[in-house]
Structure 1
Amino acid sequence: MTTRPDGRDHETLEWFLRLRSAPDDRRLRRAFETWLAGDPARAAAFRRVERAWALTGEVPAAHADRWMGPAANGNRRPTRRRVLAIAGGAAAASVAALAAPSVWVRVRADHRTAVGERSPVTLADGTRVDLDTGTALSVDFTPARRAVALLEGRAFFAVAPDTARPFTVAAGPVSVTAVGTGFDVRLDPDQVAVSVTEGVVSVATGASAAPRAERIAAGERLAIDITRQTAVRAAIDPQAATDWRRGLLSVDGASVASVVEELRRYHPGAILLRDDALAERRVTGVFDLNDPAGALRTLVGPYAGRVWRLTPLVLVVDLA
Structure 2
Amino acid sequence: MDWFLDLKARPDCRQTEQDFQAWLSRSPLHETAWDQALKAWMLLGEVPPVYEHVWRPTSSVASLPQRRRWRQWTVGAGLALAASALILLAGPSLLIRWQADHITRTAESRTLKLEDGTVIEMGGDSAIATEITASVRRVTLLSGEAFFDVAHDTLRPFTVDAGGVAIAVLGTAFDVQLADNETTVELARGTVAISYAGPEHKENFELSPGEMAAIDRRTGAVERSVIAPEDIAAWRSGRMFVNDITVGAAVERLQRYHQAWISVPDPALAARRVTGLYDLKNPDSALEALVKPFGGKVREVTSYGRVLSRF
| 1:39-78 superposed matches below 5 A | 46=77, 53=81, 58-60=85-87
> Of 182, 193, 198, which residue of structure 1 is paired with 2:189?
198
1:154 maps to 2:153: no
SS in 2 for 1:152: strand
1:231-286 per-position Cα deviation (integer Å, ceiling 9, x unaligned) = 33322223213211211023567665554443233223322457788767776653
Amino acid at match of 1:237: A
Amino acid at match of 1:11: R
Cα distance change, pair 99–248 in 1 and its aligned pair in 2 (3 A): same
| 1:73-112 superposed matches below 5 A | 98-112=89-103
Contact 2:101–2:130 under 8 Å retained in 1 = yes
Identity value in percent: 35
| 1:178-189 superposed matches below 5 A | 178-189=169-180
Contact 2:144–2:256 under 8 Å retained in 1 = no
* d(CA) in 1 for partners of 2:161, 2:217: 13
Contact 2:100–2:142 under 8 Å retained in 1 = yes
Give how far 1:297 is off.
4.0
TM-score, L = length of structure 2: 0.67
> Of 108, 113, 119, which residue of structure 2 is paired with 1:128?
119
Return 133-142 or 182-191, whichever deviates more.
182-191
* d(CA) in 2 for partners of 1:250, 1:100: 23
1:250 maps to 2:241: yes
Amino acid at match of 1:60: I
TM-score, L = length of structure 1: 0.65
What residue in structure 2 maps to residue 269 of structure 1? 260
> Of 222, 227, 232, which residue of structure 2 is paired with 1:236?
227
* d(CA) in 1 for partners of 2:233, 2:128: 18
Contact 1:59–1:269 under 8 Å retained in 2 = no
What residue in structure 2 maps to residue 222 of structure 1? 213
Cα distance change, pair 148–281 in 1 and its aligned pair in 2 (3 A): closer
What residue in structure 2 maps to residue 288 of structure 1? 279
Return 300-309 or 183-192, whichever deviates more.
300-309
1:56-86 per-position Cα deviation (integer Å, ceiling 9, x unaligned) = 993135xxxxxxxxxxxxxxxxxxxxxxxxx
| Unaligned runs of at least 5 residues, structure 2 | 1-35, 40-48, 58-65
1:96-135 per-position Cα deviation (integer Å, ceiling 9, x unaligned) = xx35523331122111112222222221222111112221
Amino acid at match of 2:56: D
Cα distance change, pair 271–57 in 1 and its aligned pair in 2 (3 A): farther
When the two structures are aligned, how many residues end up with a matched partner? 252
| Unaligned runs of at least 5 residues, structure 1 | 20-45, 62-97
SS in 2 for 1:137: strand
SS in 1 for 2:95: helix
1:182-216 per-position Cα deviation (integer Å, ceiling 9, x unaligned) = 111122222222221111011122169x9753221
SS in 2 for 1:265: helix
